[in-house]
Structure 1
Amino acid sequence: MTVAAKVTLPQVPQWLYQVFTPSNNSNETFDRSFVVLGLIMYMTGLVMVATSSMPVAERLFNNPFHFVIRHGIYIVLSMGIAGVALQIPMSWWQRNSSYLLGFAILLLVTVLIIGRSVNGSTRWIVLGPITVQAAEPAKLFFFCYLAAYLVRRRDQVMENLKGFIKPLIVFAILAGLLLLQPDLGTIIVMFVTTFGLLFLAGAKLWQFIGLASVGVFLLAMLAIFEPYRWRRITSFLDPWQDPFGSGYQLTQSLMAYGRGELFGQGLGNSIQKLEYLPEAHTDFVMAVLAEEFGFVGILLVLILSMIVVFKALNLGRKALSKEKYFEGFLAYAIGIWMCFQAAVNIGASAGIVPTKGLTMPLISYGGSSMITMTIALVLLIRIDHEIRLQSIQATSTKRKGRKS
């Protein structure tokens, strides 16, 4: 008599399963999938910065690994800061939101006074070997302030124009300082996030129509009355009209997308990164990824970003249902912010929207962006942690009550 061999099917790793499904394990005190997603995006960014920056690093510094070494240092530094930020309770962020906003304004004023100019924009504060892009922490601190304001004045925002206008005045001050750098891309990200957060907070429809109309009008005026911005828009509409002038960057990026096709040319086989495509390791790193890994590579990165955004929005909904309003509004703001910035970065490199100089969250080269986005991700982990602790404490209290 023969005995059939027992076949053991391969099991899906638990950590991978948790990335795509929310964990309901009451013993877990934080969502590990945020950590997994962050590490995957870190490693993706490190590989892409390495492959896209070597030619320009060799020419500028006679060291092909210059940018990848610095990017690795930024990742390690980000993780160290993440460990510290993870210990800070959300009540601290809410209580000190006004001071954080004041610090953001101070940074934006300081960069105008002593900042370093690159390609006609004054956006960086040089502190020895470290350069700080003031606009990056300013975004996060403004969203903390806005979330705290909505907790204090939510009824006013929903009922009258005065409560709706107050945060827009603060936004206008920040936008004015950013415009002096100039940094229109950050202004648009902050405007869209503010718009979305006020909508989720329950502001009336006519307020949004008015805000959107004014915002679109002002952005149109900024484009029309600044020749270089108008050239960006016209070159975006038809980059092949001037492929060696105003449309040069976009045409080179489109060539990278075209060469990538479905599965790409393979890691390290990009032609456009050989100094044909400017800013290949920063604003246009996704074009190099598209050339080397094709549509499939871009799709996988989009899925990773979409999962982070979906989890952030779901976390905001859960926090509001638990009456943790500051945490809920901040999670919503981070989700909208990451979604829009990723969409603009990929859209700009693919010729869908005008170029705005925005980094791809957790992937593009840039220390300030990397650290700020890491803190934003840590805040999501902390919010989830506090919600889980609240549920655990409530469960233990009920059990004690039943025993007594």
Structure 2
Amino acid sequence: MEYVVRPNRTLRTSLLSFTAVAVLLAATACGSSDSGASSATGLNPPDLKAQSKLGKTEDQVNLVAWAGYVEDGSNDPKVDWVSDFEMQTGCQVNSKVAASSDEMVKLMKTGQYDAVSASGDASLRLIASGDAAPVNTSLVPNYKDVFSGLKNGAWNSVDGKMYGIPHGRGANLLMYNTQKVTPAPTSWSAVFDDAPKHKGHVTAYDSPIYIADAALYLKATKPELKIKNPYALDQKQFDAAVALLKKQSGNVGEYWSDYLKEISAFKSGDSVVGTTWQVIANLAQDEGAKVKAFVPKEGSTGWSDTWMISAKAKHPNCAYKWMDWIISPKVNAQVAEYFGEAPANSKACTETSDKSFCDTFHAADESYWKNIAFWNTPIEQCLDGRTDVKCVPYAKWVQAWTEIKG
């Protein structure tokens, strides 16, 4: 990777749990009878109120997080942003690494945890079910410096009400072997319509959410389908995406979820073209693979994580202190470099050890992120605002993915 603080072996191993985000379930709770105003997406979350002011901090805070987000020096003595937080606030941090978004949702439903670093596929479920409370952003001073593109997203807000504090973001890129894939691709057609050119050497992300990648491609190439949002697919649109992926499967050599295996496959030539993350592309290049990665002309899917507070939080004041701490410039820079993602705080870019880090990860390039469709949870109420049809919920995506892979 092109920055100074590189993921160590412990983090590389622990980060495999992040890739288990593929194990997702559908949003089954879509609000209750005491819901507030209806949102444009069809979500009617319970009418919960955000905390109005901070009180005395409690003695602890219980967090659910992705590996690499809550580091206290136990994985690497040089990587610790928890100890200073504990000293400054008196809040003892207790954290549990979750292996999937589904696990995060289940843990938050127990009421034993105060906050969670939810990805877009989990955050919508937590909002809809009332397990996540709205946040009072005025109680998080560092929120003012969060990049505008991370505020009021479809995955972390409803009707303009924020349900979390943005942590960071990343894009799902197209990576190719520069020696074996010529001319250089410009489109996702390299892994769909043109996939037979590299039969057996195409790779794809192993997750039902990858159906959205096919939908994104069809949005651009099959305008007659009228796809507006790759996570809001009616039955006809969904069937078209599934059909495209079934056709693609005959050319796929490997579906990846372990990013170390993807690096190895590109180094050996077993894979020559497919989806990737920026952190994977950088590591692959560092290890000698002749690869390039980019956002194709159709745009791309991506992910954005948000710290959300439990509606049942027993330590809400410490939770608010944590949310402000984790997006403070210096700490947010440390997390971003350690994990390999674009930071949420605009001032974090002056704190990174590699001064080109934010350029590499397009942290401040909002025009770049406008072409990224961040992961969200498909539900029957179409996320694109349509009310004349029902969209295919995520449970059906899971079933279809099994069929696609055969």
Instruction: Report the TM-score when normalising by structure 1.
Output: 0.26
| Greater strand share, structure number | 2
Instruction: Report the TM-score when normalising by structure 2.
Output: 0.26
| Structure ranking higher on relative contact order (CA contacts 8 Å, 6+ apart) | 2
> Which of structures 1 and 2 has the bigger CA Rg?
1
